Structure formats: C-alpha cells, structure tokens
C-alpha cells in the first residue's frame, strides 16, 4: 500500500489516501481513512452518502468498512494526481485551458449533486484528482466530518482555510452556494498556486468568474448554470462579465440545471509533464511486488 498525496504541497488533505492491490493482483483500489480528530462515524456516514452521487467526474465510495472495523472506504483506482501534486509536477500554475476544462467538469458535478439535494461540503485543491480523461471530485462531506454544525471550523486539521466558505468556517450548515465559493478557491489555486490570490495574479480570462465565486456573500456568487456557460468550450469571454448574478435571497438553492451531455475535457487538456507523471504512476503500480499468499501449514 502506498500513499497518493506524497508529492502534494503544503495544502491540507481532508483524508489520508492509499493505493492498494489485492493479494492476487486482480484489483487495485484507492483507500481513504479519516484524519486524526475527525468524527469516524460521520466520516463513514458521508462516505455512504457519496454512493448516491451521479456524474462522470464524481468519485463516490464503492466499499465501506464493516461493523467493528476501523473506518475506511474504497473506490476503484485509476492513475491520478491530486491537484497540488499536479502543480508540483508541472512546475507551477496550470494553463488557462486546463483550468477552464477543470472548471467545467467540477461545475457539472456540483450541478448534478445539488439537483440530488446533496451539498458536497469538501471541495478543495486536495479533493480534486486529475486523471487523463478528466478530473475526479473526492472528499465528499469533509467539512461535515471535521466538526458538527455550529462549531467553528477554522484551523481544523484537513480543512484548507482558503477554500473553506466563510459561512462554513463560522460553523454554519453547508449549503450549495458554499460549494461555489470552494470551487472558486480551487480554480484560483489551479491558476495561480494560491487559494486566496491577489486579483492581478489570476489570468485575465478567469478573473471575473473566479472573483465572483469568491464573494463572501453567498447570494452574490454566480449560479452554477451561469458558470457552465463560461467554462464550456466557446463560453462567453471575461470582458462580457457573464457571471454577474441576479439578486437572490441568502441561502437560496442553486438554479436547477440538467446538462444534455456532461462536458468532457478534450485531448491535451493536461500538460505533458502531468500526463508523463500519470504514466509513471501507473507503471509503478503495475510493477509493484505482490506479497505471496500465506501457505497453509502442512498436516504431515
């Protein structure tokens, strides 16, 4: 079993993740366990709820710890890098076309989840895994597992302060528009290497949309459907300021939206160094030694 986040930067990771293979080598999975201090019962409850997530870019739990076991959950493994590790491999912020493709896929995932009345409450740079065919969003419910509603969450282990919506940092119940704030911080990180960059650090083509997501007022953040119009290929240019939201009451749910086809990142969406790192990771896993199965004692 090997860790997945070893190459990541100092961005906090909401859970510990390991790549593991079955003794016969037939199955390779990504196993997640809670960080010390997290509520293990809540961790498993959130993992169980994640199994209802739909969409190609979500990464729900496929198996859970049984009664009496230490808490864990697992999902099928695919070669992937956490977003902070991808920036490390690339040598800096990702290209704008990569950030836009990432934004389209993540917004699509949030739209589907919100339509199921599921607030993710765990979007952060470390929760995003980059694979060759597109990203995967993990760590469902990390904010809820870190502390109960009503308890201040700032500074808790595993929660990245820059991507934690202000209302959730103060202990508020996670709501869909909090996911939009966390999305903005995650995309800001992908584009600049910081979750709370100066406005001038953000590429001009992304400045308006990311700035809107990072509004401290949930009602002032753009609706998910508006974000999809920006991030889809051929979306409105930043100069048109397309994400200025219509007035909405505080705490209002996101506008229901059902995309006709999920946006799929096209060929070349990831930089070459990241693709090479994914290939290297896959080769290492395939070449890993598998311990021999224990032999039954002789009855002679």
Write out pLDDT tens, residues 97-130: 999 999 999 999 999 999 999 999 999 999 999 9
pTM of the model: 0.86
Q: Which of 134-138, 224-228, 290-294 has the highest mean pLDDT?
A: 134-138
| Predicted local distance difference test score (pLDDT) of residue 260 | 45
The residues pairing with 134 across neighbouring beta strands, listed in sequence order, are 131
Per-residue pLDDT at 265: 86
3-class DSSP state of 261: coil
What is the arithmetic mean of pLDDT over 204-214? 96
The token pair at 80 is 């992937």
b/e map 64-92, b = 16+ CB within 10 Å: bbeeeeebbbbbebebbbbbbbbbbbbee
Q: What is the predicted pLDDT for the residue at 262?
A: 55
The yes-or-no verdict on residue 283 having pLDDT over 50 is: yes
The answer to whether 38 and 156 have CB atoms below 8 angstroms apart is no
Per-residue model confidence (pLDDT) at position 285: 87
Show the domains of the chain with their CATH numbers: 2-282 (1.10.510.10)
């Amino acid at each position: 079993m090997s860790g997945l986040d070893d190459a990541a930067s100092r961005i906090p990771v909401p859970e510990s993740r390991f790549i593991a293979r079955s003794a016969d080598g037939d199955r390779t999975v990504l196993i997640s366990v809670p960080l010390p201090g997290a509520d293990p019962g809540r961790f498993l409850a959130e993992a169980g709820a994640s199994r209802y997530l739909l969409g190609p870019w979500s990464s729900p739990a496929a198996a859970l710890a049984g009664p009496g076991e230490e808490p864990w959950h697992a999902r099928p493994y695919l070669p992937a890098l956490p977003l902070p590790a991808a920036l490390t491999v690339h040598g800096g912020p990702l290209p704008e076309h990569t950030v836009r493709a990432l934004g389209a896929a993540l917004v699509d995932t949030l739209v589907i989840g919100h339509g199921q009345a599921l607030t993710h409450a765990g979007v952060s740079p470390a929760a995003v895994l980059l694979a060759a065919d597109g990203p995967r969003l993990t760590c469902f419910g990390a904010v809820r597992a870190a502390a109960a509603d009503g308890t201040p969450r700032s500074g808790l282990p595993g929660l990245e302060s820059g991507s934690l919506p202000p209302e959730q940092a103060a202990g508020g119940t996670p709501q869909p528009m909090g996911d939009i704030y966390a999305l903005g911080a995650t995309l800001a990180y992908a584009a600049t290497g910081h979750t709370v960059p100066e406005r001038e650090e953000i590429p001009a083509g992304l400045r308006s949309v990311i700035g809107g997501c990072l509004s401290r007022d949930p009602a002032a953040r753009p609706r998910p459907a508006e974000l999809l119009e920006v991030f889809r290929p051929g979306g409105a240019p930043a100069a048109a300021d397309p994400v200025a939201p219509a007035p909405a009451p505080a705490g209002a749910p996101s506008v229901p939206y059902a995309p006709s086809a999920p946006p799929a990142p096209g060929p070349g969406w990831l930089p070459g160094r990241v693709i090479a790192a994914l290939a290297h990771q896959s080769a290492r896993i395939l070449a890993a030694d598998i311990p021999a199965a224990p032999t039954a004692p002789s009855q002679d």
